[in-house]
Every structure is written in structure tokens, then in C-alpha cells.
Structure 1
Amino acid sequence: MDAAVSTLPVHKGPEARRRRRPTREEAEAAVRTLIEWVGDDPGREGLVDTPRRMVKAWEDLFRGYHLSAAEELGTVFEEVGGYGDVVLVRDIPFFSHCEHHIVPIMGKAHIAYYPREGVVGLSKLARVVDIYARRLQTQENLTAEIVGAIEASLKPRGLAVLIEAEHMCMAMRGIQKQGVSTVTTGFTGLFKDNATEQVRFMTMVRGFRA
């Protein structure tokens, strides 16, 4: 599935929302309500601290709302000895959460680009994946946001992103099919509408495995 940046919806960060953020106490109260709703007692020993622990865990699981991909990609290294061929960072692991059921999405991202005026630190690409993954997501939107952030900051001659992931909303509930992989892609510049470059990208992603 080709994730076109111009047509897929893109999540807005916290700066675009002016609504009041609930307090920690309100968030913990909401967790207690849900525990009661499923039929358990939030006051019993094993659950009494669960609301506090869950809110603390969510701060980490969804920290992407408070981080900036543009800041991560802000430093470009121009001294690359004239290198202008493709740069590939492969097998970037990530986990996210489905925005429809708030259950995990787990997978890997592969990012390749043709530098224009320089290269970015390799870890920065992994951080961009992490920033957008640690939000409520669909895989299509996650792909589009990663493409959009890299394209806007680096303006590469070409960019290719491939994400493959398993969705627990499909494995744990509903149809309950485990091991099903969903693949999304996004291409710009030299990779877009160029079958040769896309094949090269796929070969580099798949072809060098032991």
C-alpha cells in the first residue's frame, strides 16, 4: 500500500490542540473507572496502585506527542566526501498503539534516501520513527508522517520508507489471526514512479539477509 504524503491525514501535535490537558489525578480516576467497568475492584491489593502505574506507563508509551521530529533532523553533516548514493537504515524496530482500540502495533521500519546537501545522523532516523510511533496511530498515517518529516527537513533527492508490522487489534480480538503482517510504503523524488529505484530499495531491504 503506497502511503502518499499529500493525501493521507497527518496527526497534529500537541501544539495544534488548545484543549485543557486532564490532571494526573483525573487520569488515574479514569483508570479506576475502567477497572470497575470490566468487573474488578480497583481497591484490592493487586490493583490499588495500578492507576498510578498505568498513567506513568502511558507517559512513556505516548511520549511522542511531546517530541519534535524537526528538532531531531535539524543537524545535517555536509562533509561526506562527495557521497551521493543511497543511504539505507534497515530494520528499525518500533511499537505503537492502534488509535481504534489502543492495543499494540509492533514492527520494523526501513528508510532510504538520496542526500541532497548532506546526511543526517543515522540514529536520528530511528528517533523520527519512535516519535511518531509513540502516538495513537494507524500504520498508513505513521508511514505518511515519517515520510513528511524527513522530506520537509532533509529535502532529499529521493526518499523511500517501508513499514511492516503486526497489529494486535487483529491478533488479539475480532478475527484473531496471529502472524499477519501489514506493509505500507512511501516514495518521493527519485523513488517515486521509478520502478528501477523501488526494486533497488526492496532488494537492499530484503536481499542482504543471511
Structure 2
Amino acid sequence: MEAIGDDHIGTSAVTPLRADAFEMSNADKLVSIQKDVAHIMETLGLDMTDDSLKGTPKRVAKMFVNEIFSGLHPDNKPNVSVFDNNYKYGEMLVEKNITVYSTCEHHLLPIVGRAHVAYISNGTVVGLSKMNRIVDYYAKRPQVQERLTMQIVQELQRAMGTEDVACVIDAKHLCVNSRGIRDIESSTVTSEFGGKFKEEATRREFLDYIKLDTDF
């Protein structure tokens, strides 16, 4: 096994970015990545004059910068507005089955699954779609699933001013499913429980809502 290889444990909840990560404009990144992708394809022996291949480097560059890695840029971070809990709703709120499309940072292959997010209001609430947007923002970067789970929880805790936030992600990693061991059935489950969700009864209520029987 390589030094990192198939080790999916992240070193922290912070995405490892260089200090100068955003000094280059997106336009310049597109040009640079396009050249690099073309070089990789040429190295593999592909005929880059073929009609089906010659546009691939540009398409990949645009996909990297504007789509699947757009969550790296802080300008794309969703504005999470919170509102007073006028209904005085004091129970758990669960947003389940949020689609996760991310990319494994070890092999740059897809991670596909579902996120289940919950919080208990301490006086404020957040729009439901904002929870989906937070998941999507942090998923759109090279990731490990553990870090993604932690980032979702920490962002909601900051936005709402409460520790009572939880997230469970169940996802398939194509670096496991399509290469290496090539186990197409396995999936990975990660969790992060904050505040009241560390208590067994509250945690179990959340897991019952999402119908996940895994023992955490």
C-alpha cells in the first residue's frame, strides 16, 4: 500500500490549501489545467487530433474549475441566512437523503452518496435548501469523507450558533468500487455528532429518523 494510498482518514477538518491558492485567476487556471490534461493524454499515447479527443482537455479544465472543484473557492460559499424560530419548534429537525457528489482526493475518482443532517434550534432556524447548499459546497472539492462530514457540521454550528448539529454520510467511493479491490457493493458511513447529539437517546432518535442501523 502507498504511504497514503487507500487510507481515507483526513488529517483535519480543514481542506489543505496553499496560501496562494487564489492568486491565479480562474481564467488562467483553465488555461494551465487544459495544457496539463492534454499532456497527460498525450503521454498515455492518445491521438489528440482525433475529433472525439481534441476538446477533452478544455472540457476537463472547465469541469475542474467551474464544477466539481468549485467548492475550493470561498467566493462560492453559500450565504446561510438564519431566522428567528418564531414557531418555537424545539424538537429535532432532520434533512435526509441530501445527494452527495464529491471527489476522492487520493485518486480523483467520484464519491457518490447521501448525507443526512439534523439540528436542534436554540432560537434560530435555517432555510432547508441552505443545508443542501452547504453539503454541496463542501462536497465540490477533493475530499475525504470524514473531513466532509466534519465540515458540514462545523459550518452549520457556526451559522446557527449552536453545537446541536449532526451529520451522517453514506457513500460509495469509486476508488474502491471501480479499481483496487473493485468491491461494487461496499459503501462508507461517517458521522459527526455535536452537542446534544452526543447523548445516546438523541443520537438514536436521529438514526431512527434516517433508518440507519449502524452502531455509532
The question of a shared fold, defined as TM-score above 0.5 by the shorter chain, is answered with: yes
Higher mean alpha-carbon deviation, 55-64 vs 167-176, is at 55-64
C-alpha distance in 2 between matches for 1:23 and 1:182: 32
Root-mean-square deviation (CA), in Å?
A: 1.9
1:124 aligns with 2:126: no
How many Å apart are 1:94 and its aligned residue?
Answer: 1.3
Write out aligned runs for 1:92-103 (5 A).
92-103=98-109
1:10 aligns with 2:14: yes
User: Any conservation in 2 of the 1:69–1:149 contact (CA below 8 Å)?
Assistant: no
User: Any conservation in 1 of the 2:78–2:134 contact (CA below 8 Å)?
Assistant: no
Counterpart of 1:4 in structure 2 is none
**Residues 78 and 11 (structure 1 numbering): CA distance in 2 closer, same or farther, change over 3 Å?**
same
For structure 2, the residue ranges without an aligned partner over 5 or more in a row are 1-10
How many Å apart are 1:204 and its aligned residue?
Answer: 0.7
Counterpart of 1:3 in structure 2 is none
SS in 1 for 2:170: strand
Counterpart of 1:196 in structure 2 is 201
Q: Deviations over 1:44-94 (max 9, x none)?
A: 221111111111122211111124687522x21114321111111000011
C-alpha distance in 2 between matches for 1:40 and 1:146: 40
Counterpart of 1:60 in structure 2 is 67
How many Å apart are 1:9 and its aligned residue?
Answer: 3.5
**Residues 68 and 143 (structure 1 numbering): CA distance in 2 closer, same or farther, change over 3 Å?**
farther
C-alpha distance in 1 between matches for 2:30 and 2:100: 27
User: Any conservation in 2 of the 1:116–1:157 contact (CA below 8 Å)?
Assistant: no
User: Any conservation in 1 of the 2:134–2:152 contact (CA below 8 Å)?
Assistant: yes
C-alpha distance in 2 between matches for 1:116 and 1:88: 15
How many Å apart are 1:12 and its aligned residue?
Answer: 5.3
SS in 1 for 2:194: strand
C-alpha distance in 2 between matches for 1:157 and 1:97: 28
Counterpart of 2:148 in structure 1 is 142
Counterpart of 1:39 in structure 2 is 45
Higher RCO structure, 1 or 2 (CA under 8 Å, sep 6+): 1
TM-score by length of 2: 0.84
User: Any conservation in 2 of the 1:166–1:182 contact (CA below 8 Å)?
Assistant: yes
SS in 1 for 2:108: coil
1:105 aligns with 2:120: no
C-alpha distance in 1 between matches for 2:121 and 2:128: 13
C-alpha distance in 2 between matches for 1:134 and 1:72: 16
- Paired letter, 1:187: F
User: Any conservation in 2 of the 1:171–1:177 contact (CA below 8 Å)?
Assistant: yes
How many Å apart are 1:155 and its aligned residue?
Answer: 2.0
1:177 aligns with 2:179: no
C-alpha distance in 2 between matches for 1:51 and 1:157: 44
Q: How many residues align?
A: 197
**Residues 191 and 134 (structure 1 numbering): CA distance in 2 closer, same or farther, change over 3 Å?**
same
User: Any conservation in 2 of the 1:162–1:183 contact (CA below 8 Å)?
Assistant: yes
